[in-house]
Amino acid sequence: MANYEDFAYVYDTFMDQIPYEEWCQNIVNTLEKHNIKDGLVLDLCCGTGVLTRMLRDRGYDMIGADLSEDMLEVAREKEYESDEEAGEKGQILYLQQDMREFELYGTVAAVVCACDSINYLLEDNEVIRTFSLVNNYLDPGGIFIFDFNTPEKYAAIGDATIAENREDCSFIWENYYDSFSHKNEYDLTLFTECEDGLFKRAVESHVQRGYTEEEMRNYIKAAGLKLEGIEKLEDGRIVAVCKEKDKNKEKEKK
């Protein structure tokens, strides 16, 4: 699984085209539809915490979990930059955790996992295990919202080289797609400007796997979650909304 290092510090620069405000509003709309208007929410694979902070600002008590300590460092730095505002709205608890093994102190009203983070899980059992943990840590009737990329989306990118240059950083993205395994690998070469005006070069490799809607439906069922809805978006992502299942039944048995 990828562990963002150098990329973490320029991630927001190159991802400034992501419509986070729109994503946040869609998530809030879904949560409110299920009568979750406040409470504790986990942003699983929170990255630099952009969406985490937006949801915090909408009144939710946020936990952000990510495998990358560098991503979390950036998230915390951005939190420190707005200490006064954060103090008024509630601090975010950031945890360095692998989504396949994450642990919480108790249950949460909802879990969100955005920006195709689920695609970093490369094996069927890893997806089921992660979803099972989500189900375990959701309140009775809690909601899980996540998005994922399909094999078709990765195939459309195919074997390609993408480059982008900004004022103080640039990257070269070399993409390779395997239609048999549905795995998409990309080598990312970063050039970031240092204080002395020279540029630092760093290379990271990332691997993701595309999943079909049918595969995801099977994983959701195997993990004990209940699928509430699934939607394919214009950008090629699929968004799924699931609900915690059977906790109330377990209480009734006791």
Cα gap 107→34, rounded to integer Å: 17
- Is there a single domain that holds both residue 117 and residue 243? yes
DSSP 8-state code for residue 250: H
Question: Residue 14: enclosing H or E segment and its boundaries?
Answer: helix 11-14
Task: Classify residue 222 as exposed, middle or buried by CB count within 10 Å of its CB (0-12, 13-18, 19+).
Answer: middle
Highest mean pLDDT among 164-173, 182-191, 222-231: 222-231
Asked if the structure places residue 1 within a domain, the reply is no
pLDDT bucket at 195, cuts 50 / 70 / 90: confident
Extract the runs of DSSP E, i.e. beta strands, from 25-168.
Answer: 40-44, 61-66, 93-96, 108-113, 138-148, 160-165
- Token pair, residue 30, equals 């879904």
- Is there a single domain that holds both residue 85 and residue 196? no
Give the per-residue pLDDT at 252.
43
Give the per-residue pLDDT at 19.
92
Asked if the structure places residue 16 within a domain, the reply is yes
Cα gap 65→95, rounded to integer Å: 5
- Is there a single domain that holds both residue 27 and residue 131? yes
Give the per-residue pLDDT at 254.
43
Number of domains in the chain: 2
pLDDT bucket at 30, cuts 50 / 70 / 90: very high
What average pLDDT does this structure show over 121-134? Answer: 98
pLDDT, greater one: 250 or 246: 246
Asked if the structure places residue 17 within a domain, the reply is yes
Asked if the structure places residue 69 within a domain, the reply is yes
Give the per-residue pLDDT at 15.
76
Highest mean pLDDT among 142-151, 195-204, 242-251: 142-151
Enclosing domain of residue 107 = 6-149+211-253
The enclosing domain of 195 has a CATH number of 2.20.25.110
Q: Is the confidence at residue 87, as pLDDT, over 60?
A: no
Q: Is the confidence at residue 92, as pLDDT, over 80?
A: yes
Cα gap 243→224, rounded to integer Å: 9
Extract the runs of DSSP E, i.e. beta strands, from 97-159.
Answer: 108-113, 138-148
- Token pair, residue 41, equals 């929410």
What average pLDDT does this structure show over 1-6? Answer: 59
- Is there a single domain that holds both residue 20 and residue 54? yes
Give the per-residue pLDDT at 190.
85
Least confident range of 74-83, 89-98, 198-207: 74-83
CB atoms within 10 A of CB 162: 12
